[in-house]
Amino acid sequence: MHYELIFQHWQLFLDGYKVTVILLFSVFMVSLVLAIILAIFRSSDNSVLRHPIRGYTYFMRGTPLLLQVYIIYYGLGQFESIRASMFWPLLSEAWFCIALGLILNNTAYLTEIIQGALREVPKAIIEGAKSLGMSPIKTFLLVVCPLALRRSIPALSNEFIFVMHSTAVASTITVVDILGAGRKLNTSYYLAYEGFITAAVLYVSIAFSASYCFRALEKRYLDPLSYR
Amino acid sequence: MNEAWPYVPHVLAGAKLTIILSVASLILSCIFGFISAAARLSDVYLLQRVSQVYVSVIRGIPELVLMLLVYFGGQMLLNDLGELTGLWGYIDVDALSSAIFSIGFIFGAYMSEAFRGAYLAIPGGQLDASKSLGLRPIAYLWLIVWPQFLIHVLPAFRNNWLVILKTTAFASVVGVHDLVWRAKGAASATHNPFYFLVLAALVYLCFTILSERFFSYIQGRMKRGWMSI
């Protein structure tokens, strides 16, 4: 056991921790906003809107995240037109590729969750809002969307932990996150497990605090709803 | 692009290893899940707690971390144990078996929750009813619990299988020569990374579609004669 090496490199793990947490929160928030928009389109009657979104979520949910990130990071650079485009300075950065991959992947999962929740909002509530003279946009923003979000808190909690698991993919494309720090110790000092155990402990700490926060949210926003 | 064609069969052959890895992990995860669910449902407090800790800790660790930990640390641990007890000599743990073990161990936790939920969905009154009919415990489990358990467990089981299938892609990181590893190799050899990585993704998509078809067929068959309330 060489735990003194871990303590010597605490700065490396702290930086990795920051990278993971920033990636986790920004990806989750951006995906959540995108997913709400896509879920509205997905549940519309317009099949031109509905089918492409369905295809997108199906592809993203049916293929491994690792491959999606590889396609963005290694694959896109193959094309001359992309390398010449204005997006190339961003697409050649590993941190941008992992963020883009995670957002695209998780938006697909979140779209399905939120679409399911939107569908389950009782018709009577929507009719009630209509009878009060609320416009469709107001009904959606003030009645349907908050209800759907409240009811999807347990699923969102699962999804948050899932995004945390996914952020570990960052280390496969050279971004130094928590796992990246562990792998660095593994390659430079031949430490077999100390670095990975430290990484695992840090990840578990994030997961436990996230579950705690989501349980508090559930208590505050889900429990007051009489129907479940 | 033409010089890339010979690599295609080589990459597709990696799909065999992906399937072997997925199925072996699935079987192992069912074993871990069964043991953990049985422990959780037992009357022994210590077993319940151990099962609970297993499930919640595994949920907090990314798959990739555990796979790297098992791959690099597992061999060392096994050899240290062997030296300590003198039971076995030097063991070389290969990437494939360490990947199977870690995926099986991770999804054992998810399977455990699925099994427990499906078992608890069966009304307790049926045990009293079967006792009053004079059924032995084995007959109760086999004739009453098992058929209902299968119906309740299938949705979660299907879900876990689909996630296991996609998790096997991580095995390429520890050096298992599966679909993803070969696609990446061909990608750098031919300078056509996009085509080969998309090819691998499409193979995974095919597996997902086939699995979904298979499970909806099974679910349809099992629901025959089943009345939902």
pLDDT given for residue B87 in this prediction: 75
Average pLDDT over residues B152-159: 93
* Pairwise CA distance, residues A103 & A197, whole Å: 27
Q: What's residue B222's pLDDT?
A: 82
Predicted local distance difference test score (pLDDT) of residue B226: 67
Task: Find the residue in B nearest to A190 (Cα).
Answer: B72
Angle, helices A10-42 vs A47-62, to 10°: value is 150
In tens, the pLDDT along B202-214 reads 999 999 999 999 9
Residue B229 has pLDDT above 80, yes or no: no
**Res B219 pLDDT > 90:** no
Q: What is the mean pLDDT of residues B216-224?
A: 86
**CATH code, domain carrying A204:** 1.10.3720.10
Between A76, A78, A193, which is nearest B69 by CB? A193
What is the average pLDDT value for chain B, to the nearest integer?
90
- Checking if the pLDDT of B86 tops 80, the result is no
ipTM: 0.89
Closest chain B residue to A159, measured at CA: B59
Domain-embedded: residue A9: yes
Q: Which structural domain range is residue A151 located in?
A: 3-222
Give the pLDDT confidence score for residue A4 in this predicted structure: 79
| Total of domains in chain A | 1
- The DSSP letter of residue A122 is -
Contacts of B201 in chain A (CB under 8 A): 59, 63-64, 67-68, 71
Residue A29 has pLDDT above 50, yes or no: yes
Q: What is the mean pLDDT of residues A84-100?
A: 88
CB contact under 8 A, A200 and B61: yes
Residue A227 domain-assigned?
Answer: no
Residues contacting B177, CB < 8 A, separation 6+: B14, B17
Chain B residue set in contact with A, beta carbons under 8 Å: 56-57, 59-66, 68-69, 72-73, 75-77, 166-170, 172-173, 180, 183-184, 187, 191-195, 197-198, 200-202, 204-205, 208-209
Q: Is the pLDDT of residue A15 over 90?
A: yes
Highest mean pLDDT among A75-84, A174-183, B90-99: A174-183
Q: What is the per-residue pLDDT for A202? A: 95
The residue among A119 and A45 whose pLDDT is bigger is A119
Virtual CA dihedral for A183, A187, A189, A193, nearest 10 degrees? 50
Task: Evaluate if residue B115 carries a pLDDT over 90.
Answer: yes
Question: What's the pLDDT score for residue B228?
Answer: 59
Is A228 contained in some domain? no
Decide if domain B16-174 falls under CATH 1.10.3720.10: yes
Percent of chain B with pLDDT over 90: 68
pLDDT for res B82: 80
**Percent of chain A surpassing pLDDT 70:** 98
For residue B170, the chain A residues in CB contact (below 8 A) are: 64, 66
A191 falls in which pLDDT band (50, 70, 90)? Answer: confident
- Residues B33-80 have pLDDT tens digits of 999 999 999 999 999 999 999 999 999 999 999 999 999 888 888 888
Task: Tell me the pTM.
Answer: 0.90
In sequence order, what DSSP letters do the residues of B50-119 get, joined into one string? HHHHHHHHHHHS-HHHHHHHHHHHHHHHHHHHHHHH-S-------HHHHHHHHHHHHHHHHHHHHHHHHH
A117, A94, A109, A196: which is closest to A160 by C-alpha? A109
Residue in the block written with tokens 């609970």: B52
pLDDT score of A97: 94
User: Quick check: A79 pLDDT over 90?
Assistant: no
pLDDT value of position B88:
75
CA distance B114 to B102: 19
Residue B14: pLDDT over 80: yes
Confidence tier at A227 by pLDDT (50, 70, 90): low
Residue B102: per-residue pLDDT: 95
Residue A8: the pLDDT is 84
Predicted confidence band of residue A190 (pLDDT cuts 50, 70, 90): confident
Question: From CA B188, how far away is CA A114, in angstroms rounded?
Answer: 39
* CB pair distance less than 8 Å for A78 and B170: no
Give contacts of A206 with chain B, Cβ < 8 Å: 60
**Number of A–B residue contacts, CB under 8 Å:** 121
How much is the average pLDDT of B207-228?
86
Confidence band, pLDDT 50/70/90 cuts, at residue A228: very low
B194: distance to nearest CA of chain A, Å? 4
DSSP A19: H
Q: Quote the radius of gyration of chain B (alpha carbons, Å).
A: 22
pLDDT band at A61 (very low <50, low <70, confident <90, very high): very high
